[in-house]
A and B are shown apart, each in its own frame.
Chain A
Amino acid sequence: QSVLTQPPSASGTPGQRVTISCSGSSSNIGSNSLIWYQRLPGTAPKLLIYLNNQRPSGVPDRFFGSRSGTSGSLAISGVQSEDEADYYCATWDDSVGGVVFGGGTKLTV
């Protein structure tokens, strides 16, 4: 069981806006910044969003991250077929004393 809760699946048609949620608690998302990773089939995870809403260079601006209270979300505006992947949220958990991840959301486009 993952500490952070994500829906197991999400879907959209090309060009739609898709949102993936990530729910936690006061000891993790409630007090630490949220991170998102994308894992394409057969590859290692890739940093997508850090510090709740910051995109590393090279990440398309159609990816948006947000955090409010003990939950957060990843929005993909104008989803494309190449965005079909597994998405994971992560953060530091003060109670656990470590990095915790969500179980992942499989996005189908």
Chain B
Amino acid sequence: QGQLVQSGAEVKRPGASAKVSCQASRYTFTDHYIHWVRQAPGQGPEWMGWINTYNGDKYFARSFQGRVTLTRDTSITTVYVELSGLRSGDTATYFCARDRGKGDIGVFDLWGQGTEVIVSS
């Protein structure tokens, strides 16, 4: 069925960068895109972008373009998101999510447990 395991919580200063990992297991890694979604306290989820785990192609939400980096390491079935220029508004729980893979973008059938990123001076 699959599993996504994310790295632990991080506390960062404004202006710093945060890098979160998401390791996939129990399914064929390159068969599904991985997306990143964040949710700030008391707000709805916010989609950040996706990475094609097969060829590395990426697509970002406009609000994150230029500030987010998505990478993957197929040898350890892991995807990374790095957000630079952190500000207080980036304080949120960050989730990786597996695309269902049937062409319906936004259908995430497997989620990581979430990684809390706190931005504070």
Contacts and interface: CB of A to CB of B under 8 A. Distances in A.
Given A2-B44, A98-B61, A102-B44, A44 B113 contact: yes
A103 B100 contact: no
A92 B47 CA distance: 10
A90 interface: yes
Contacts, number: 61
A100 B35 CA distance: 13
Interface SS of chain A: helix, strand, loop or mixed? strand
Interface stretch (A46-54, A63-71, A72-80): A46-54
A99 B104 contact: no
A47 B108 contact: yes
B95 A44 contact: yes
Nearest to A104: B44
Residue of B35, B45, B95, B104 with highest tally of chain A CB at under 10 A: B45
Size range of the chain A interface in the assembly? 20 to 34
Nearest to B45: A101
B62 A35 contact: no
A97 interface: yes
A96 to B, nearest CB: 7
A30 to B, nearest CB: 15
Given A44-B112, A50-B107, A51-B104, 12 more contacts: A44-B113, A44-B114, A51-B107, A56-B109, A88-B44, A88-B45, A90-B106, A92-B105, A98-B62, A99-B37, A101-B46, A103-B44
Interface of B: 35, 37, 43-47, 49, 61-62, 95, 97, 100, 104-109, 111-114
Interface of A: 2, 33, 35, 37, 44-47, 50-51, 56, 88, 90-92, 96-104
